[in-house]
Amino acid sequence: VGAIDDENLQPGQASPVRVSGEILGAAVRPASRSRKLLYVSPGRGVDVETAVKIVLPLLTSQKRLPGPIDAADRLSRSFRPD
């Protein structure tokens, strides 16, 4: 739905996601081997720029998701019935 210029996006870089010309979020390339982008959006009292500044230091070269989200995902899977 939104427009993203991700052609030359390098790992750890963000590109704004625009809808009707308005910046509503950002697309981040989390790692060099990752083809999927990570989408960051603002929340209560946090603008897009600040949201990106929060997320970028949480990225590792090993995982696509930020550390806390990856840990929560792994923990939730341990409660899933087999």
pLDDT at 81: 81
- The pTM (predicted TM-score) of the whole model is 0.73
d(CA 82, CA 25): 36
Residue-level pLDDT at 8? 81
d(CA 67, CA 18): 26
Q: What size, in residues, is the chain? A: 82
* Model pLDDT, residue 24: 92
pLDDT computed for residue 38 by the predictor: 87
Mean per-residue pLDDT pooled into runs of 10, the chain (82 residues) = 75 89 90 80 93 87 72 85 76
Q: Say what the pLDDT of residue 32 is.
A: 65
| Amino acid at site 24 | L
